[in-house]
Amino acid sequence: MPDHDYIACDLCGTQNPRFVLDSPGLDGPLVECVKCGLRYAGDRRSALTFGERPAEETLAQVRAANQGLRYLPLQEERRLAALNAQWRLDLIRTRTPSGKLLEIGCARGDFLQVARGWFDACGVEPNPELADSSSQVAPVYRDVIERTPWNDFDVIASFHVIEHVDSPRRFMHAAAERLKSGGLLAIETPNIDSLPFKLLKSRWRQFIP
């Protein structure tokens, strides 16, 4: 690979990360921080993260980047989403059985739908189309977590969101600041140390723009 000025590591600030691979599913080359090991897109070709520009502009960019993806039939997607939501809720309730819950990136509201049976639940969702859907399930703040005015949550949950944000460090700080002391922060993200990544490399299905 030729020399390239990649983005510095968001966690520790180290410059000159190591090139790992290119993938058509990523918005830039995958690189690895030589100090802390964080793997991330070392360059960004498109503005795909919400928060800096009008949401409608970002949504148009996201649609364009994802137009080649293959999706499950809607009925099957909703069935699996409901099963995943219940599994996630059951795990959370082993630690915190009830209280006040915030979901960051609540999308169309699948998890909020099951969570509200046990929690005073609300969500954060910057995608205006998805926020329209989830706001029919629970109160939804239409922006990013860094600008959300709500706080004092017993549980903050986020599923497959942190890998899509500009700054995971800033994302985690914003979430932690909105938790009660001793509250639970539940994060789910694809595992790049998993066997599927080791086998598929650039074709790993979790690489999504």
- Mean pLDDT over each residue of the chain, to the nearest integer: 92
Q: How far apart are CA 153 and CA 164, in angstroms?
A: 23
Q: What is the pLDDT of residue 100?
A: 98
Kind plus residue range of the DSSP H or E element containing 40? strand 39-41
Residue 179 lies in a domain: yes
Q: How many domains does the chain have?
A: 1
Residue range 25-67, pLDDT digits in tens = 898 999 999 999 999 999 988 878 888 888 888 878 877 777 7
User: Of the given ranges (68-72, 115-119, 187-191), which has the lowest mean pLDDT?
Assistant: 68-72
Whether 151 maps to a domain, the answer reads yes
Give a yes or no: residue 92 inside a domain. Answer: yes
Asked whether residue 68 is assigned to any structural domain, the reply reads no
Identify whether 174 is part of a domain.
yes
Range of the domain at 130: 74-188
Q: How far is CA 63 from the centre of its chain?
A: 16
* CA distance linking residue 38 with residue 17, whole number of Å: 9
**Alpha-carbon separation of residue 134 from 86, 93, 152, 190 (angstroms):** 17, 22, 21, 23
Q: What is the pLDDT of residue 2?
A: 44
Nearest to 4 by CA among 36, 38, 44: 44
Q: Is residue 34 within 8 Å of residue 16, measured between CB atoms?
A: yes
Task: State how far the Cα of 9 lies from the Cα of 67, in Å rounded to an integer.
Answer: 29
Phi and psi, residue 23, nearest 5° = -145, 140
Residues in the chain: 209
DSSP codes joined into one string, 158-202? EES-GGGSS-HHHHHHHHHHTEEEEEEEEEE---TTSHHHHHHGG
Residue 33 domain flag:
no
List, for residues 65-109, the tens digit of each pLDDT value. 777 767 768 788 888 889 999 999 999 999 999 999 999 999 999
| Residue 187 phi, psi dihedral angles, 5° rounding | -120, 130
Give phi and psi for 99, each to the nearest 5. 130, -150
* Assigned domain for 130 exists: yes
CATH number at residue 80: 3.40.50.150
Give the number of other CB atoms < 10 A from CB of residue 57. Answer: 12
Q: Distance (Å, rounded) from C-alpha 184 to C-alpha 140?
A: 20
pLDDT by residue (tens digit) across 150-185?
A: 999 999 999 999 998 989 999 999 999 999 999 999
Residue 111 lies in a domain: yes
Q: Token match 């998993």: residue?
A: 194
